[in-house]
Structure 1
Amino acid sequence: MGSVSVRQVLVVLGLLAVLLTGCERVTPSGGDHPRAVQPVWRPLTLPVPPGAPGRPLLRDAAACAGRWYVVGGVADPAGATRPAVWSSVDGAIWSVSRLVPSTFYGRQHLLYAAACRDGRLAALGTASGGVHGNPRIGSWVEGADGVVREVAAPFERFGGPRAVSAARLVAGPSGWLIVGSRVDGAAVWASTDGREFTLRAGLPELAGDGRGRTAAYDGLATGSGWLVVGAVLPAGGTGLAPLAWTSRDGLGWRRAELPTASGRGQAQRVVSVGGAVVAVGPAGDRFAAWRGVVDPVADGAATRWREAGGFPAAGPGVATVSGLVAVGSGLLAVARAGAGQVLWYSDDLGGSWRSVRMPVVVADTGETAVAVAAQGERLLLIADDGRGPRVWWTPVSGFAADEGDKSLPSTWN
């Protein structure tokens, strides 16, 4: 069997396991539910990118060192896309960043993942291409002049017959890390400057082995290196089980299993808050939150995990967590399920959760997106409901005070 066929079989197995998990989901009924958090959502206006007319697409947001970023693209009436980045120094007044693509597919990229470090952005973009329409993924980085440039890279770095996904981009004191998967399981791409990334695939403990096929979904920088979360499809199994990995240098990895009552689940997003790390993802018929404590050891950072709490998954379909951010001393998760894309808030490191009223209803389809970013006293919310993008901000203190909802419709100029 050729390598492309192997990849296709593995991807199908992974999707089958996720779908089986989704088919078992039921909506909880009865019982008391905590009152929803109702922030004061205040609309923001993003400028229209230059160039041919089209519909702006928003996909991710990031904030660091006093700067804010929103990434995505613009789709013309025929569906063709081009990349776009918006930036702000205060989170209130925004400008369109200048982009310089360097490849044929880069000019068509939709930027879908963003991270920043020391006030400088890096992003991942994708476009369909080639005979089979496979994703053509590339990276972008902001220079000292504020221009965001595509970084030309060999096709095999992110693509090729062994490619599966490049899911998330994270930044830390030691550099940048892309988290994703190859045919042989979970993989990472490491960089010290956000420009040149080195693929690290097939690594012991991180990649799949006789125990099963692994996949990585998200990560973060720790005081002693990197932490990555994901899942494993056990050999001969039909349900994914959540995993976490830690490493000092991105080369040697230690694996930890995350406990679940059903033995099934995926750790899809992770964040550091209050001296702990919290991962969130679907587990059986609900979403689970796992709390970890990072302990320095001789050859890496081993993490002890326990299930802290969770929140319900409303409606049928495949449930996913597409965002997780620290909001002051609390957590805000973006969850996708049959009922649409929703927000959940925890003020006790994932132990208990309250739903958060959004200023707009966003269905869960391939054409929609919700993302959040937080910094200081400000939380940024972007929502693309498939008809048009909208952006809001709210004070972080509003989550603790739980002010009444005074949201207003946003406009796009």
Structure 2
Amino acid sequence: MGRRGIALVGVVAVAIGGCGSAGCTPQRGVGTSGNASSAELVRPDWRPVPLPLPTGIPGRVVLRDATACAGRWFVVGAMHAADGTTRPAAWTSPDARTWTPVTVAGTSFYGNQNVLYAAGCRDGRLAAIGAKSGGAHGNPRVSTWRQVGVDRLVEVPAAFELYGGPEAVGVSRIVGGPTGWLIVGNRTRGAATWVSRGSPRAGTSAVDAAGFDLVDGAPELTSDERGRTMAFDAVATSRGWLVVGGMTPAGQIDSRPLVWLSADGRSWRRFAVPHLDADAMLQRVTVVDGVPVVIGLRSDGFGAWYDDGRGWVAAGRFGSVGGAGAPSVRGVAVAAGRLVVAVSTGTTYELWSSTDRGRSWRRFAEPVSGVLAGGDSGIGVTAAGDGVLVSMDDGRGAGLWWTRTSTLDR
């Protein structure tokens, strides 16, 4: 299958290489019951969505993540100029089909060059994480961003060592919940969180992402004699914050899936997750009709787990991994009780769907087929109501596509 590109023509994101409203030529997939022929792939009615360019120095659009809540949709990324420089960019929409650029205001040298790669939503307001490599060692300089007013995103001032410094490993995701915001990531001591300063523990009500406290070395969350812990995503549940990731036991190379629960984002309880695989790692989490569902890597493919109220249950497997790149779960969304998942197989990107909390899966065609997974490309997915939004970036251009949930059954 030849590689197909994505181009921005004027202010409209359109796919080239024969891609229209009915989607592009699908790739060959692997399902839970073996190889899936192209005839078995679901072909959603993908509609390309116009994305206006923000003001400022022209360049190509870079898209990295998408989110939606309380009637607002957001996509984030950057503008990449011809000279190689970048600047953070974001867009907002009331319906996922009509978009407006968000005014982005950085306050630091690296913040003004950030690529926004993780987006969170709370009460219809956006918060994001961005980074730009720099400094003597070329390490990522991480910034967080919060929405101010209707359409303005501002960088949150922070000390360098809050997210960087000699203890830094990575900052993964930002999520909103009833008590505020939570960031998850990893430090040299293992899994870590950053809690918004307006949390109940501080005696105030969190209304935005104006500042965070680092929780590093928390018992049960951090690495200990049992092994090294890693955290990759979080979600707010009826029982508090749920963080997902895993642990590499001491003296071993394969990982074991873990989840953590906390009422305040500071004190954590650890729970093992059942698995039959030699190697498993949880990478994304969401809630489907009140039930937490986790998506992760399972040896040579992907899989799901869900909490049935008595404990964690291993659900179905899907897909396969291979190639030179690192496989990963790139996004998870819920639309009308349906899971929609974007993954990187290590070679290309794929989209999968489940209507039974991850027990069974169907592959559906991406808006653009054959986009190679790599550092300059990306895929994002979010959903709300009866709509699903997918962003794709092949390193040369990026675009947005929308479809109704009902077309995922075709």
Interval of TM-score (by shorter of Structure 1 and Structure 2)? 0.7 to 0.9
The answer to whether 1:77 aligns with 2:82 is: yes
| Counterpart position of 1:220 | 235
Letter in 1 for 2:407: G
Matching residue within 387, 397, 407 for 1:398: 407
Per the alignment, residue 304 of structure 2 pairs with 289
Q: Output one character per residue of 1:296-353: Cα deviation in whole Å (capped at 9) or x when no partner.
A: xxxxxxxx11111110214334321111111211111111113400001111110011
Partner of 1:259: 274
Partner of 1:307: 314
After the TM superposition, which parts of structure 1 deviate over 4 Å for at least 4 consecutive aligned residues?
27-34
Q: 2:265 aligns with which of 233, 246, 250?
A: 250
- Tell me, in whole angstroms, the C-alpha distance in 2 between the residues paired with 1:126 and 1:221: 25
Instruction: Write out aligned runs for 1:86-97 (5 A).
Output: 86-97=91-102
2:162 aligned counterpart, secondary structure:
helix
Q: Which amino acid aligns with 1:212?
A: G
Q: Matched residue of 1:156: which SS?
A: helix
**Equivalent residue for 2:353?**
345
Within 2, Cα distance between the matches of 1:131 and 1:160? 12
d(CA) in 2 for partners of 1:388, 1:32: 31
Which residue of the partner structure matches residue 46 of structure 1?
Answer: 51
Q: Is the 8 A contact 1:308 1:350 kept in 2?
A: yes
Letter in 2 for 1:94: W
- Judged with a 3 Å threshold, the aligned counterparts in structure 2 of structure 1 residues 163 and 352 are, in CA distance, closer, same or farther, namely same
Match of 1:408 in 2: none
Does residue 326 of structure 1 match 2:334? yes
Partner of residue 165 from structure 1, selected from 150, 157, 170: 170
Give the drift of 1:113: 0.4
Equivalent residue in structure 1 for 2:221, among 196, 206, 209: 206
Q: Percent identity?
A: 46
**Residue 153 (structure 1) shift:** 0.5
Structure 2 distance, partners of 1:262, 1:42, is 38
**Match among 135, 154, 163 for residue 140 of structure 2:** 135
C-alpha displacement at 1:80, in angstroms? 1.1
Partner of 1:4: none
Q: How does the TM-score come out when normalised to structure 1?
A: 0.86
Following superposition, the deviation at residue 294 of structure 1 comes to: 4.9
Name 2:111's counterpart in structure 1.
106
Could you say which residue in structure 1 is the equivalent of 2:189?
A: 184
Please give the TM-score of this superposition, normalised by the length of structure 2: 0.86
Q: Is the 8 A contact 1:85 1:97 kept in 2?
A: yes
The Cα of 1:33 is off from its aligned counterpart by 4.3
Q: Does 1:121 align with 2:121?
A: no
Conservation of the 8 A alpha-carbon contact between 1:63 and 1:373 = yes
The amino acid that maps onto 1:326 is V
Q: Determine helix, strand or coil for the equivalent of 1:189.
A: strand
Q: What is the aligned partner in structure 1 of residue 385 from structure 2?
A: 376
Closer, same or farther: CA 331–129 of 1 in aligned 2, 3 Å: same
Q: Is the 8 A contact 1:42 1:393 kept in 2?
A: yes
**Contact persistence 2:328–2:346 (CA under 8 A):** no
Change in CA separation of 1:31 and 1:269 when aligned onto 2, cut-off 3 Å: closer
- Contact conserved, 2:32 with 2:361, CA < 8 A, in 1? no
Give the conservation status (yes or no) of the 8 Å contact 2:79–2:89: yes
Residues 1:385 and 2:394 are matched in the alignment:
yes
The structure-2 alpha-carbon separation of the partners of 1:337 and 1:155, relative to structure 1 and needing over 3 Å to count, comes to same
Contact 2:186 2:230 in 1 (8 A): yes
- Provide the secondary structure at the position in 2 that maps to 1:237: coil
Question: In the TM superposition, what is the alpha-carbon distance from 1:110 to its structure 2 partner?
Answer: 0.5
Residue 20 of structure 1 is matched in structure 2 by none
Tell me, in whole angstroms, the C-alpha distance in 2 between the residues paired with 1:31 and 1:126.
39
What count of residue pairs does the alignment treat as equivalent? 367
| 2:343 corresponding residue in structure 1 | 335
**Contact persistence 1:229–1:268 (CA under 8 A):** yes
Contact 1:174 1:225 in 2 (8 A): no
Over the residues paired in the alignment, what is the CA RMSD in angstroms? 1.7
State the alpha-carbon separation in 2 of the partners of residues 91 and 74 from structure 1: 20
One-letter amino acid of the structure 2 residue matched with residue 332 of structure 1: V
Q: SS in structure 2 opposite 1:256?
A: strand
Letter in 1 for 2:396: R
Task: Read off the aligned partner of 1:129 and give its amino acid letter.
Answer: G
Residue 60 of structure 1 corresponds to which residue in structure 2?
Answer: 65
Question: 1:190·1:198 contact (CA, 8 Å) conserved in 2?
Answer: yes
Structure 2 SS opposite 1:267: strand
Q: How far apart are the structure 1 equivalents of 2:226 and 2:360?
A: 33
2:282 aligned counterpart, secondary structure: coil
CA distance in structure 2 between the partners assigned to 1:110 and 1:251 by the alignment: 28
CA contact (8 A) 2:32 2:318 kept: no
8 A contact 1:313–1:319 mirrored in 2:
no
Q: Residues 229 and 270 of structure 1 are in contact (CA less than 8 Å); yes or no, is this contact kept in structure 2?
A: yes
Match of 2:372 among 336, 347, 363: 363
Aligned counterparts of 1:316 and 1:110: Cα–Cα separation in 2? 26
Give the Cα separation in 2 of the matches to 1:117 and 1:347: 25
Cα displacement (A) at 1:170: 0.6
In the TM superposition, what is the alpha-carbon distance from 1:293 to its structure 2 partner?
Answer: 3.4
Deviation at 1:104, TM superposition (A): 0.8
Q: Structure 1 unaligned runs (5+)?
A: 1-26, 296-303, 404-413
* 1:276 corresponds to: 291
